[in-house]
Amino acid sequence: MDNSLIDYLSQFVSTRRRDLFNRIVQMRTRYLTVAIEDVYQPHNASAVMRTCDCLGVQDAHIIENYNRFEANPEVALGASNWLTIHKYNSPGDNTLEAVKELKRNNYRIVATTPHHSEVMLDDFDLEKGKAAFFFGTEKEGLSDSAMKHADEFLRIPMRGFTESFNISVSAAIILYRLTEILRSSEIEWQLTQEEREGVLLQWLRNTIKSSDLLEKKFYEKKQGDTNKEKDF
């Protein structure tokens, strides 16, 4: 990561915003992540994104097999500007592609479902390693592909007649409960230095108007300085 680019772009935001970025990035985590499969309700999908941002979960994986993800700006409130979004929308089984990518990054695939009681939320073992929680539509639930490739099944205890929460409520309950436990544990849940720098650069780019032009100017000047040094 080129820290000089971060320093350069930081000149174009207020001191207050720089301090805010530096404080919040310390609380971000990739130990937990979410994968949203074919959720077509903009309200629910956007609410999950907002929950991720509020609870410091940096990444969200969007799987588009049949339904295209559309964020509701009134619900998301700009959360997508602060998250790292991974989209899977190529021809074929995008759920399987997401699973493969997450497993390459050492995530357990955790299917959230009211129909399996393998692990209740309060019994979920965070110390077993990083976890990616898969959420499906309210009507259909998760696909057969997601269920087939899941390493674990997670269930939220229910006390009423209705058999499930909607996706946004489920995500909020699960992530709130587990991030609270995670942050008080001995687990190394924070981003690495390199990851923090990458996220800071992303936030600066998303915040600064015409950041691409400023970045181009930065590299042109850097190349010019390099050429001058060679001349000497």
173 and 98 share one domain: yes
How many CB atoms are located within 10 Å of the residue 188 CB? 8
The answer to the question of residue 151 being in a domain is yes
Check residue 221 and give its pLDDT: 83
Check residue 83 and give its pLDDT: 95
Check residue 169 and give its pLDDT: 92
Check residue 76 and give its pLDDT: 47
Instruction: Give the number of domains in the chain.
Output: 2
Q: Which amino acid is at 126?
A: L
The answer to the question of residue 232 being in a domain is no
79 and 24 share one domain: no
Q: Is the pLDDT of residue 2 over 90?
A: no
Check residue 103 and give its pLDDT: 97
65 and 125 share one domain: yes
131 and 39 share one domain: yes
How many CB atoms are located within 10 Å of the residue 108 CB? 16
Question: What's the pLDDT tens digit per position in 21-64?
Answer: 999 999 999 999 999 998 777 678 888 999 999 999 999 999 98
Question: What's the pLDDT tens digit per position in 155-198?
Answer: 988 888 777 788 889 999 999 999 999 999 999 999 999 999 99
Structure tokens at 207: 């915040």
Check residue 190 and give its pLDDT: 97
13 and 75 share one domain: no
The answer to the question of residue 128 being in a domain is yes
110 and 215 share one domain: no
* CA gap 92, 89 in Å, rounded: 8
For range 136-149, the mean pLDDT = 86
For range 141-165, the mean pLDDT = 88
* CA gap 231, 57 in Å, rounded: 48
> In this structure, are residues 174 and 154 in contact, taking their beta carbons and an 8 Å threshold?
yes
The answer to the question of residue 23 being in a domain is yes
> In this structure, are residues 11 and 2 in contact, taking their beta carbons and an 8 Å threshold?
no
CATH number of the domain residue 77 falls in: 3.40.1280.10
- Please return the burial class of 151, using the count of CB atoms within 10 Å of its CB with bins 0-12, 13-18 and 19+: middle
2 and 87 share one domain: no
171 and 90 share one domain: yes
Structure tokens at 37: 């499969």
The answer to the question of residue 231 being in a domain is no
Hey, is 158 helix, strand or coil? Answer: coil
The answer to the question of residue 104 being in a domain is yes
Strands annotated E in 103-177: 108-112, 119-120, 131-135, 152-155
> Which residues form the domain of 210?
1-28+200-224
Check residue 158 and give its pLDDT: 82
Structure tokens at 111: 């299917």
**Of the candidates 139, 129, 133, the residue with the CA atom closest to the CA atom of residue 121:** 133
Check residue 20 and give its pLDDT: 97
**Of the candidates 51, 39, 35, the residue with the CA atom closest to the CA atom of residue 177:** 51
Q: Is the pLDDT of residue 231 over 60?
A: no
* CA gap 8, 50 in Å, rounded: 29
133 and 219 share one domain: no
148 and 205 share one domain: no
Question: What's the pLDDT tens digit per position in 70-127?
Answer: 665 554 457 888 999 999 988 889 999 999 999 999 999 999 987 666 789 999 999 9
150 and 47 share one domain: yes
Check residue 118 and give its pLDDT: 79
135 and 217 share one domain: no
- Please return the burial class of 62, using the count of CB atoms within 10 Å of its CB with bins 0-12, 13-18 and 19+: buried
